[in-house]
Structure 1
């Protein structure tokens, strides 16, 4: 199974959504997990992981990871060419380096040159930015590039984004 996470913030709450699917080219979600946590800290520049990582780890407590092939996050796994950890890197450490983490970011982070891969999908001229730990970066980029969907963002990743933004979905 493959998991994809996204977290949305409103007031001092965070809504974390995780979708599960079985194969990289799947078109359907097999399970969905949602959790809302209150009392979330304010965003601090350079420390985004401190805000989102607890949300992801909390939701992971209800998911059986024994068959997990990889986890996809919305964002960066590393934040620079020294391979300092971003959200995904801290998640990788928290999971004892056992589950590969792939970061899919919509916006560029200029401090990374060597350890990110830009991919184009569909007709889009704007790339997605891929980073990873626990899986070869080129392989991770190809997995995301080949996910189902005709547009820049793979359909299943668009779905997890939509579920998070849907205020009525809990």
Structure 2
């Protein structure tokens, strides 16, 4: 089972969402989960993961058994020297038992080593990074995800769930 996760913040509350699916090419989710977390750490530049990890861990716990792979909105690695981003911190928090793929929409300062993936008609690439899975396999998986647009359909869905724009379903 794969999961795509995202977190949004509103009025001091974090809303974390998880969309579970069977494989890279899945068109629909197998299950969806949303949790709200009132104890939100303040944003600290350079320590974004401290704010994001607790809600992500809570929604993954609500989803049940650990998935084999989690997709996060952001980076696994922040530079080619291996400075950890949100995805690397999540991988560590899960005991290194789950592959994590980061899909970022905007470039981070400096060279991250992320693979550039073009989808749909977009000339602007998604930036894919990974731990626990080869980078080329992660990039190919993101490229093959369902949807005709730059952002894969299930990644757009988890974003909308986290924003409270949709109700979770199965």
User: What band does the TM-score fall into relative to the shorter chain?
Assistant: over 0.9
Q: TM-score, with normalisation over the residues of structure 1?
A: 0.93
Which has the bigger relative contact order, CA under 8 A and spacing at least 6?
2
Q: 1:47 is matched with which residue? A: 47
Q: Distance in 2 between matches of 1:168 and 1:49?
A: 25
Q: 2:13 is matched with which residue? A: 13
Report the Cα offset of residue 167 of structure 1. Answer: 5.3
State the 4+ residue runs in structure 1 displaced beyond 6 angstroms.
none
Q: 2:83 is matched with which residue? A: 84
Structure 1, residues 110-169: CA drift from partner, whole Å, max 9, x if none? Answer: 2334x2111100100111000110011111000000111110001111111111122574
Report the Cα offset of residue 13 of structure 1. Answer: 0.6
* Correspondence 1:118 to 2:150: no
1:98-109 equivalence runs, <5 A: 98-109=97-108
Structure 1, residues 39-94: CA drift from partner, whole Å, max 9, x if none? Answer: 3122111111000001111222223335x221000011111111111111011011
Q: 1:26 is matched with which residue? A: 26
Give the aligned length.
168
Q: Distance in 2 between matches of 1:11 and 1:63?
A: 25
Unaligned runs of 5+ in 1: none
Contact 1:3 1:20 in 2 (8 A): yes
Q: TM-score, with normalisation over the residues of structure 2?
A: 0.93
Q: Distance in 2 between matches of 1:75 and 1:162?
A: 16
2:34 aligns to what SS in structure 1? strand
Alpha-carbon RMSD across the aligned residues, in angstroms, is 1.4
Contact 1:12 1:41 in 2 (8 A): no
Contact 2:76 2:102 in 1 (8 A): yes
